[in-house]
Structure 1
Amino acid sequence: MVWVFGYGSIIWKPDFPFSRSLSCYAKGYKRVWWQGSTDHRGVPGAPGRTVTLEERPGSIVWGRAFEIEAEDWEGGVREDLAVREKQYDTLRKLDLHARGSSGSEEIVAVRGALTWIATPRSENYLGPLPMEELASQIATSRGPSGPNSEYLLMLAEALRKHGLEDGELDVLERKVREHLRRNKD
């Protein structure tokens, strides 16, 4: 079996077979909107923004881990995910943690889950932007998979559905919704 850790669209769109999933987090990472998307949520010359992970000691990033049976992994899931995540340049193995049954204890839930990360070496890596500029770019970008705002809104909704927290995402969601309302009027 293979475990895959989703911290972005894989949370709300796991378009591969899996035998089980669980909410968990990776230590030492933060979800950031620094990756450009020119193939899904933007186009060349007008990229959208998707999430990647930045190493940040003391931080955690919540997401979902998906267990994939070996025959499914070898039977096409590996290749499908390689295409889906092609704009990310690093495949990393992470140990994932979860809250124990008491809610306060921490357990190692999965060892060596695979995840894709975009680094500054990635062709579409965009880096940080001030929150207002980021919200504006996400509100106005669109690509073959639809509006960039849809990516953000689906991610925020999926995190809420699974009881996961990301305060910065909540703020960004509010700002993107404000931009969308202003542009609608």
Structure 2
Amino acid sequence: MVLWVFGYGSLIWKAGFRYDERLVGFINGFRRVFYQGSTDHRGTPAYPGRTVTLEASPGDVCWGVAYKVSGEEDEQIALSYLEVREKQYDEKAYLDFFTDPMSTTPAVSGVLVYIASPDKNLNRNYLGPASLEEMANQIVNAEGPSGPNRDYLFQLEKALLHLGCEDKHVMDLANAVRSIIAEMNMSL
């Protein structure tokens, strides 16, 4: 048995588990959005940060990476690690992963994807949509045990650009955060 895991946020640049192969590609029908609150990594319960989740969006694709984990022991270690790391993501889906935009045949079927649902009864940390300015202000000011929320955003932007993916939502948000930081520095 082989486990494939799709990373579309921090898993892109920091897997945190052993893997045998890493493929760049995408899943269909979803878009990456900064709607999930982070109270344990990039924020606190008193001031949550914002991290990405997936939102169903027919016709869209979400680029990221898929990791192949082989061997029963490595699979168990990876899954145990992910269950802690992704504990605020209350849904798991098994989706088709593509590496070629022209192909109708997935490179891998059944890739495990962690998703934070918008159901507040199941996902108490779901923040949902907000204006670009509101999200940027929250990201500028949030910090948690894993560091400032802005670092997460900037690392995601850099990792996506390294993959050749220009995600408009991520880039617009990163530019808004940079503008706020520049204004703060000018007023000092």
Quote the residue 1:175 is aligned against: 176
User: What are the ranges of 5 or more consecutive residues in structure 1 without an aligned counterpart?
Assistant: none
TM-score by length of 1: 0.94
- 1:182, CA displacement in angstroms? 1.7
Question: 1 CA distance for matches of 2:22 and 2:104?
Answer: 18
TM-score by length of 2: 0.92
Q: Percent identity?
A: 46
Question: 2 CA distance for matches of 1:73 and 1:179?
Answer: 42
Quote the residue 1:49 is aligned against: 50
Deviation sequence 1:8-45 (CA, Å, 0-9, x none)? 00001111101111111111101011100000000012
- 1:98, CA displacement in angstroms? 1.6
Distance 1:106 1:181, change over 3 A: farther
3-state secondary structure, aligned to 2:99? strand
Matched, 1:22 2:20: no
3-state secondary structure, aligned to 2:172? helix
Superposition map of 1:70-149 within 5 A: 70-71=71-72, 72-74=74-76, 76-99=77-100, 104-105=102-103, 107-121=105-119, 122-149=123-150
Q: Which runs of 4+ in 1 moved over 2 A?
A: 104-107
**Equivalent AA in structure 2 for residue 115 of structure 1:** V
Alignment coverage as a number of residue pairs: 181
Question: 2 CA distance for matches of 1:157 and 1:29?
Answer: 21
User: What are the ranges of 5 or more consecutive residues in structure 2 without an aligned counterpart?
Assistant: none
RMSD: 1.2
3-state secondary structure, aligned to 2:95? strand
